[in-house]
Structure 1
């Protein structure tokens, strides 16, 4: 039997978009069909679970295609190893490992991948999980 484990890879995904209103319309429509609730109570960020969408700010040089991926890291040391491995494999530094202002335990490193996409590893401090992952087994 084939099994899939989810909930272990992404901490969050962030799209910075040129036309914020058009993107909100698009994601509202497709999420409604999928039955996934959206949070639209912030004029600067539209969110769906771990997906965040915000306008591409004027004067901010875009990285890649406006895509930002944040991978979950199990601890601060993993954040450091991610950063070193990414640089050794051709990535460009976009923020050395360290604490960030998002909350007291947000420890992250950022790199630009070969296409210029902003890739992050983040450890958000000690947590308790109800399970290591969600197990999905396709029905026959």
Structure 2
């Protein structure tokens, strides 16, 4: 992978989506992750990755030859404006609306938007409202 630093300490270590059209997914995820300020790293091995998200083709060695089913993946973002920008950008890059930006009843301050990516995965951007963190993440250097 070529990385010398990882950020850990959150619930999910990583998730892999195996998609039908890697190029369509690369365009979609590169666009929305740019809004979220998360870099996308390309590899020559039939996949790309961003933080703990790996997206691959069925032909990649890690995929076992079949696309994954429908998943729900939520990105935590810094503010409501980023939720709004995520939704606009996703729709402009081939997503289908699955819930416009707005407050949800999950807890006070939960502001989110939902889209379906090119493979039908439910992708969410959520801002949980004002909160204080003890640390943004745990940094692991190699």
**TM-score when scaled to structure 2?**
0.55
Structure 1 runs (4+) deviating above 3 angstroms are: none
Q: Could you tell me which runs of 5 or more consecutive residues in structure 1 were left unpaired when the two chains were aligned.
A: 14-63
Matched residues in 2 for 1:122 and 1:7: separation? 19
Matched residues in 2 for 1:7 and 1:110: separation? 25
1:102 equivalent in structure 2: 106
Number of residues of Structure 1 aligned to a counterpart in Structure 2? 85
Matched residues in 2 for 1:6 and 1:90: separation? 31
Matched residues in 1 for 2:117 and 2:71: separation? 11
Matched residues in 2 for 1:89 and 1:95: separation? 16
Q: How far is the alpha carbon of 1:109 from its aligned partner?
A: 0.1
CA RMSD of aligned residues (A): 2.2
2:52 equivalent in structure 1: none
1:4 equivalent in structure 2: 6
Q: Does 1:117 align with 2:121?
A: yes
Q: How far is the alpha carbon of 1:66 from its aligned partner?
A: 3.2
Q: How far is the alpha carbon of 1:65 from its aligned partner?
A: 2.0
Q: Does 1:90 align with 2:118?
A: no
| Counterpart pick for 2:134 among 130, 135, 138 | 130
Q: Could you tell me which runs of 5 or more consecutive residues in structure 2 were left unpaired when the two chains were aligned.
A: 16-67
